[in-house]
Amino acid sequence: MKKRMLFCLAVLGAASMLFGFDSAETPESLMEKMQQASAEAGAAEVDMDMNMDVSVDISDGTTTSSIGIGASGSFDVTANVDPVAVSMDGTLNMSLFGQSQSMIMKLYGVTSDDGTYNTYVYTEDSASGEPGTWEHGTSSMPALDMAELQEQAANIDYSEWGINFELAPEASMVDGAECYLLSTVIDSSSLETMLNKIEEMTGEDVESDEDVALAMSMLNGVELNIEYYVDSATYLPVKLHMDLNGSDLSALSQYLAMSMGEMAEGSSVELVLNDISVDAAVAYSDSVEITVPDEALSAAESSDVSGDVIGEVENVLGGAAN
């Protein structure tokens, strides 16, 4: 069930990244142009920056204690369509309770001759002075068929997924290029519609899953703002901005207070969101060669850890966060 859910979300995500607009055209004719432009652009290079600035305020009615939680990261990502391959290189800086940690992170994902997908993930704690480590993972599923994803994406009706786009009345400029600004907001209502659509497509009762139900209750009031800047000449998205700013975090604050137990007894707990945002600039080319470094291949041969690629990445990121 999880694999089919992931595939549905991957199709939706791929479709949303392909979506562009031209105020003089219909969404249908624009989508056709977007599909054609994306097919001709066989590779993309992405400069991505993320920022998180959150605090937990605990008040007993007289005094308020604030716990700051911060993270910032900068990543260079390169992706190739055929064969499917990706590389990522960047740093992630985190702070909690006045303690800071800086991680160097690298990831390579390549399609093998038998069609499976291999990942090589490198992490290094800059402050420890210890050398970093490579982890190798092999997907239990064949690599995603991008042609199939594009075909599925072309047939998506966004309104059926609870996503409605707005087109800015005036053009925006991005690095000297005239772009259309397309925006949308995904909230708990949108997520509910997405879950219903996934259930319809997979035949699975997703909402009966306790983890899904808990996540939905915690996300009540959270809003994801998304902005696409689409080059009016090429019909390709060249800039993306996403943020959670303006969200109502009351539900999350209540859940956090319950999780803190005696620590928060008799006190009010408020999760304060100053900024959670992601910005990405995208450039396109026909194709790019992505080669896994020899040290990653050697580390994989000496101590191989095979498993589902998503699980491997989650394990590495989870370790970095701890």
Tokens representing 74?
């900068």
Q: What residues make up the domain containing 262?
A: 2-40+55-64+157-275
Tokens representing 171?
């053009």
Per-residue pLDDT of 296-307, as tens digits, reads: 998 877 655 444
- Residue 212's pLDDT is 86
**Cβ–Cβ under 8 Å, residues 106 and 277:** no
Mean pLDDT for all residues in the chain: 80
**Residue 223 included in any domain:** yes
| Cα separation, 272 vs 261, whole angstroms | 19
Place of tokens 């259930």: 199
Per-residue pLDDT of 57-85, as tens digits, reads: 988 888 888 889 999 999 999 999 888 89
pLDDT higher at 187 or 18: 187
Model confidence at 12: pLDDT above 90: no
**Residue 284 included in any domain:** no
Per-residue pLDDT of 121-149, as tens digits, reads: 999 998 777 888 999 988 765 555 665 66
**Residue 20 included in any domain:** yes
Band the pLDDT of 228: cuts 50, 70, 90.
confident
| Beta bridge partners of residue 284, listed in sequence order | 44
Instruction: Give the range with max mean pLDDT: 134-138, 153-157, 278-282, 312-316.
Output: 278-282
Average pLDDT over residues 41-47: 91
What is the pTM assigned to this prediction? 0.77
Give the total number of structural domains in the chain. Answer: 1
**Residue 119 included in any domain:** no
**Residue 302 included in any domain:** no
**Residue 186 included in any domain:** yes
- Residue 95's pLDDT is 92
**Residue 191 included in any domain:** yes
Nearest to 48 by CA among 240, 310, 274: 240
**Residue 218 included in any domain:** yes
